[in-house]
Structure 1
Amino acid sequence: MVQQRLFGLIFALVCGLLAFGSVNAGTDGVTAKQAQEAEFELGKRLFTKTAVPACALCHTLRDAGSEGAVGPVLDEIKPDADRVSKALRNGLGNMPAFKTLGEAEIKALARYVSQASGGAGPSGN
């Protein structure tokens, strides 16, 4: 849990630096592509293992190798990131709200699910 929070904090810091132009692609170490890849990996890790409960327990998502039988098959419904974020914050049907996730974790998980399932990214991005 501490490692998860620490990674989330570091990830949020990197994203903040990128948003304000403090990190130049190719010269200061972290590129926008690397930040996106890190966010994708965080989302995948949350989906498969570290979210409580792990999303993979209930949902089928080919990229994650999950075959849950309780929730909808995400490869079929292809939710966009906004829809996933809302479900994570508020719960949906039998799905609980994930109150222990921070904003960076919700964003990473929502983008992972939408990208891995073929859904749309967040509105405005």
Structure 2
Amino acid sequence: MVVVGVRRAVAQAGALWLLASTSGTGWAADPAELARGKQLFLTLQPACAVCHTLQAAGAQGQVGPVLDEIQPNAERVLRALRNGIGAMPSFAEKMTEQDMQAVARFVAQSTGAKP
């Protein structure tokens, strides 16, 4: 009986983890990470907010795409940060992987991006 209860608890924990990690944008949002992502979005040099419009950050950039409209998922944002795209430079030399992920998750979460 105890083994069945343990198996059920493990199965439920796994299901909850899977649900949290795949809901919305494919990951569970950590409030501290999202706050860090927003801070970086606003303060990087050059700041994302200079070029991009993103309502959640109060950004009204006029150069890059309006992120609220294109709703990029975290992977798309990460690719742009790592490699650059169009006029946007790569941030791979300026940011840690952890910081790039924080920005990517903030943008994806803020725009309601699909996985």
TM over 0.5: yes
Gaps of 5+ in 2: 1-27
Supply the distance in 1 between the matched residues of 2:76 and 2:64 (Cα, whole angstroms): 15
Please tell me the residue identity of whatever aligns with 2:106: Y
Q: CA deviation at 1:117?
A: 1.1
Aligned length: 87
Aligned mates of 2:94, 2:50 — CA distance in 1: 17
Question: Where do 1:1-125 residues align within 5 Å?
Answer: 36-49=30-43, 51-98=44-91, 99-120=93-114
Alpha-carbon distance in 1 for matches of 2:46, 2:74: 19
Taking only aligned residues, the RMSD between alpha carbons, in angstroms, comes to: 1.4
Normalized against structure 1, the TM-score is what? 0.67
Shift of 1:85: 0.2
Q: Identity of aligned pairs, percent?
A: 53
Q: How high is the TM-score relative to the length of structure 2?
A: 0.72
Say which SS state the counterpart of residue 30 (structure 2) adopts.
Answer: helix
Q: Matched residues in 1 for 2:30 and 2:41: separation?
A: 16
Identify the residue that residue 22 of structure 1 maps to in structure 2. none
Cα distance, 1:53 vs. partner?
A: 0.7
Deviation at 1:82, TM superposition (A): 0.1
